[in-house]
Amino acid sequence: MLKICLQDFDGSCKGSGTNGEWGRLVETRVKGRPMLEKNTRIADEAEIVDEAILSRRSVRAFLPDMVDDDTIRAILSVAARAPSGTNMQPWKVYVTKGETKQQITDAILNSGIRAEKADWDDYRYYPTQFFEPYLTRRRANGFGLYGALGIGRREVDKMRAQHDRNFVFFDAPVGMIFTIDRRLNQGSWIDYGMFLQNIMVAARGRGLHTCPQAAFAPYHRQIRPVLNIPDEEIVVCGMALGHEDISKPENAFRTDRVPLEEWVTFSE
């Protein structure tokens, strides 16, 4: 059985458990970082990797606790080990905190452009018209989140207010904006997704949570002057990074997944 040590910032071990308890440890610690005790076997690698992936979810309320620059750099460096066609590494990241992050928030919320009117003129994340089975899945996601928040199906103003929480990065201390050279093709966008996922998983390894945020993309005109993003770059999305506020109801929301049988075909 693999032993896991819950390490505090000073490196001391604040408790330990078996690999079966890993998920609970990952969920309950706030600042501590789980790590393998020295000399443990790595036979349970699959479990550790799976848990890092499975414990990632979109967190939509963060504590004000800061994430230090060394940690952000470490997460981004690890994430940049993502594969990319001919190793082109098409990602570009703008890390914002404090005043600059606030300027992005202000530029968007003071623009007077409501999310439903915002123009996805640089790239389209979603289909122009939703269709099945995606429409049902999308609705289930929306109702699930709003349900956790006690927002009824006709409470449009409350839904808007929740959507606007995107633009304060859900109160996370770190907000990242991701861009890509607009001359690049679809293949580089595949690469980009791997990079983004790596960031989110690497954050989990450090006791942190994330929320990827396409909501920023249609506001690229408001974001560009704040971060000096040239026209040659498309704003792909944003991402909140920080410590989860476990007291907030939106963070109790869990998404499900379609059973494997519905989307996999094995052939021999």
Ligand X SMILES: Cc1cc2nc3c(=O)[nH]c(=O)nc-3n(C[C@H](O)[C@H](O)[C@H](O)COP(=O)(O)O)c2cc1C
- Tell me how far, at minimum, the Cβ of 170 lies from ligand X, in Å: 8
Residue 100 vs 141, nearer CB to ligand X = 141
Question: How far apart are CB 217 and ligand X at their closest, in Å?
Answer: 8
| Rounded CA separation 235/181 (Å) | 9
Number of H helices, E strands in the chain: 8, 7
Residue indicated by tokens 């190793």: 87
Q: Contacts with ligand X: how many residues (CB under 6 A)?
A: 12
Minimum CB distance to ligand X smaller for 41 or for 153: 153
Residue 115 contacts residue 215 (beta carbons within 8 Å)? yes
Q: Please answer whether residues 164 and 156 qualify as being in contact, where contact means their C-beta atoms are separated by less than 8 angstroms.
A: no
Work out which of 78, 113, 214, 227 binds ligand X, going by CB under 6 A.
214
Q: Candidates 42-50, 55-63, 110-118, 176-184 — which segment interacts with ligand X by CB under 6 A?
A: 55-63
Radius of gyration for the alpha carbons in the chain, expressed in angstroms and rounded: 20
CA distance 196 to 214: 12
CA–CA gap between residue 43 and residue 200 (Å, rounded): 24
For residue 237, state whether it binds ligand X (rule: CB under 6 A). Answer: yes
Q: Is 3 in the site for ligand X (CB under 6 A)?
A: no
CB of 2 to ligand X, least distance (A): 25
From 53-61, 76-84, 153-161, 182-190, span contacting ligand X (CB under 6 A): 53-61
List of residues contacting ligand X (CB under 6 A): 57-58, 60, 141, 166, 211-215, 237, 255
